[in-house]
Amino acid sequence: MEEAIHILKKSFCHPEKSETIPVTESGGRITIKPLYSSFTVPNTDVSTMDGYAVSAEDFADASDRNPVRLQNEIWVNTGNSIPPEYNAVIAVEDVYSDNGNLFTRNTVLQWQNIRKMGSEIQKERMILPSGHCIRKYDIAPLVTYGISSVDVASISVGLIPTGSELVSSGTIPGPGQVVESNTVMADVWLSEIGVTCRRYPITGDQPESIKTAIEEAVVENDLVIISAGTSAGSRDYTARILAEIGEILVHGIAMIPGKPTIISRVSGKPVIGLPGSPQAAQTVLRELVIPLCIEWGMSGNDDEQCTVRLTQAIPSDAGFNEFVPLIIGNLNNEIIASPLSRAPGMQRSALSANGYIHIPQHIEGYQAGSIVDIHLTGKRSEIERSLLLSGQYHPYLDWLSNCISNKHISLYMRDSGILGGILSLRKKACHATPLSYYGSSGGAHIPYIADYFDQGELAALHIAQKQYGILSCNSLGTIESHRIRFSEDTEKILEHNLLQRLHTRFDAHDLVTISDTENTHRYTPPEAVQANLADICIGDQQTADIHNLCFTPLETEHFEILLMKGYSEDYRIMQLIESVRTSTLIQQLNDAGYDTSRTGTIREIR
């Protein structure tokens, strides 16, 4: 049987056809190119609670002994836009009325109960890579992010039932007659994995009629399946006809049921003869036809269960049934699962997850290391092809995910930051950890490495590097040194090394952070500089060119993926390395302004 599968896959090329379909009909279909968000979500700051929009600074001293009266507040419902002069929402249940005035005893934090603009996804960020099987769980996020139609892989299969004894379904068979079911079954099975099926009328046991039906179907489809007539009986004409109009590659396979199966080539296309027995036809469909369709880019959606080890604790409130999205994979022959964000309104977790756990109402969650049963949102076989990353997110990971998906590996990224990723790698909760650091290459420059790993325990796969510097409207010498303004977002991304470099240019006391209260969060840092809301920000040469800003170099940032010793024994890691070295990824990195001179090199961290 293995030889027959090999012949089938080797003898026929991928049709490489596609079609555009509504997203509402895309479940179970395979994307042929990446999908990108059409807009930013949310597109403005919105309230996550019913309550009162206020300025957080007015309630810094609120307490049980010192209630503070609400002034200049406005009422907002969940999902309402927040005007720019407000930066927090007090939930209605945290407010009480006294003599017609509203008070709260709770300290209010900035951006409390507010989802900031773009906190879920930015416009043109990749939603799904090419080669992704669209799941029912993906549909709502796709619609939310503005996707109305999808380009998907397309295969057309012609189904020809043969036999003078056959009658169509819905017909009561007479003496000696049989209801035709094989092509009906094949239609359902193949349609379920995204194949477009075309069922032809029942053809009697007349050689010329069968020949005409096959020739017509070959013209109209990528693959043709003939049901029955494959044995050596007096009215079994399939093999003889296929040999006449094409080439028989296989007739007879060592499998029970299914022995008389035929694999042939007609006009360069596969024509497969199914045995008439429904059990045998099922076996051939499952073992031969569907694997070929999957090889050609088709797939299906299952909802299976499996047992996993939790890498992190999952707390839950008693009294509630809770469903938590998970990233699931196989690490060192053990199936592990890590929880994803449960924040309200965040649909991206549904995209990132490949399973979920149901926590019953009588259980207050699970401890890290617990062995639990979970539900899969894809096929069980996909766990073996899942590559789990935990660490620092960067856009190149989207490009890498797209490249590795073409090798039938699904990349799942958990954005846990550098320390979170290193701890996950240490606890065997992920396959690899992406991170970045400033300075020259070497383990000493990667934060936390010496604290958690012994010398020689890690290797680093180099992705790229990029020089960062100060972006300003004019040269640095024209900026008044007593008040150098830069946005709070810029301050957050400054590593210690980069901040030190910045301080060599300016006195630390001269740097003034422009906070979100001045609405810089509504701009990217370069846009804030352009709008004269900030004097400087941090960026690269390409960003400076796009925004017509001056660029003063500061430091080089290195992007690497940490691998545990022995990584070469994991085929998923080896596919990751191959994907990093592809011309496609290298070109994308070059186009984005990265230095790729060392891309794909691996070094031992000492």
Same domain assignment for residues 185 and 66 = no
Same domain assignment for residues 283 and 315 = no
Question: Are 553 and 465 a contacting pair, CB within 8 Å?
Answer: no
Sequence-distant (6+) residues with CB within 8 A of 24 are 139, 143
Task: Determine, yes or no, domain membership for 141.
Answer: no
Which stretch of 172-181, 296-305, 511-520, 569-578 has the lowest confidence by average pLDDT? 511-520
Res 84: pLDDT: 93
Query: What are the tens digits of pLDDT across the range 214-225?
Result: 999 999 999 999
Q: CATH number of the domain at 78, please.
A: 2.170.190.11
Query: What are the tens digits of pLDDT across the range 139-180?
Result: 999 999 999 999 998 899 999 998 888 888 888 888 888 888
Res 493: pLDDT: 47
Same domain assignment for residues 349 and 394 = no
Instruction: Count Cβ atoms below 10 Å from residue 312 Cβ, excluding itself.
Output: 18
Of the candidates 258, 580, 233, 548, the residue with the CA atom closest to the CA atom of residue 432? 580
Nearest-angstrom CA–CA distance, 128 and 107: 40
Q: Is 350 helix (H, G, I), strand (E, B) or coil?
A: helix
The residue type found at 205 is D
Kindly tell me if the per-residue pLDDT of 497 is higher than 70. Answer: no
Question: Are 118 and 124 a contacting pair, CB within 8 Å?
Answer: no
> What residue numbers bound the domain in which 11 lies?
2-21+154-295
> For the residues 198-205, what does the mean pLDDT come to?
90
Res 201: pLDDT: 93
Res 567: pLDDT: 85
Kindly tell me if the per-residue pLDDT of 69 is higher than 90. Answer: yes
- Signed CA dihedral, 578, 582, 588, 590: sign only: positive
- Work out the angle at residue 126's Cα, subtended by the Cα atoms of residues 122 and 130, and round it to the nearest 5 degrees: 170
Same domain assignment for residues 405 and 539 = yes
Instruction: Count Cβ atoms below 10 Å from residue 404 Cβ, excluding itself.
Output: 24
Which stretch of 36-40, 470-474, 518-522, 551-555 has the lowest confidence by average pLDDT? 518-522
Res 278: pLDDT: 79
Same domain assignment for residues 291 and 330 = no
The residue type found at 86 is Y
Query: What are the tens digits of pLDDT across the range 99-115?
Result: 999 999 999 999 999 99
Q: Which residues of 75-111 are buried (b: 16+ CB within 10 A; e: fewer)?
A: ebeeebebeeebbbbbbeebbeeeeeebebebebeeb
- The burial of 592, by beta-carbon neighbours within 10 Å (0-12 exposed, 13-18 middle, 19 or more buried), is given as middle
Nearest-angstrom CA–CA distance, 344 and 466: 36
Is 492 or 302 the better-scoring residue by pLDDT? 302
Res 489: pLDDT: 44
Query: What are the tens digits of pLDDT across the range 19-59?
Result: 999 999 888 788 999 999 999 999 999 999 999 999 999 99
Question: Are 377 and 27 a contacting pair, CB within 8 Å?
Answer: no
Percent of the chain with pLDDT over 70: 87
Domain boundary (90, 115, 140) is at 115
Question: Are 339 and 366 a contacting pair, CB within 8 Å?
Answer: no
Res 540: pLDDT: 86
Question: Are 367 and 530 a contacting pair, CB within 8 Å?
Answer: no
Question: 403-407, 551-555, 602-606: which has the highest mean pLDDT?
Answer: 403-407
Same domain assignment for residues 364 and 410 = no
Q: Cα-flanking dihedrals φ and ψ of residue 83, to 5°?
A: -60, 150
> For the residues 510-530, what does the mean pLDDT come to?
64
Same domain assignment for residues 585 and 503 = yes
Q: Average per-residue pLDDT in the chain? A: 85
Nearest-angstrom CA–CA distance, 203 and 206: 8
Same domain assignment for residues 256 and 194 = yes
pTM to 2 decimals? Answer: 0.63
Res 487: pLDDT: 47
The residue type found at 441 is S
Of the candidates 174, 158, 177, 167, the residue with the CA atom closest to the CA atom of residue 202? 167
Q: CATH number of the domain at 330, please.
A: 2.40.340.10
Res 368: pLDDT: 92
Same domain assignment for residues 559 and 517 = yes
Q: CATH number of the domain at 264, please.
A: 3.40.980.10
> For the residues 116-134, what does the mean pLDDT come to?
91
Nearest-angstrom CA–CA distance, 236 and 59: 87
For residue 112, how far is the Cα from the chain centroid?
29
- The burial of 172, by beta-carbon neighbours within 10 Å (0-12 exposed, 13-18 middle, 19 or more buried), is given as exposed
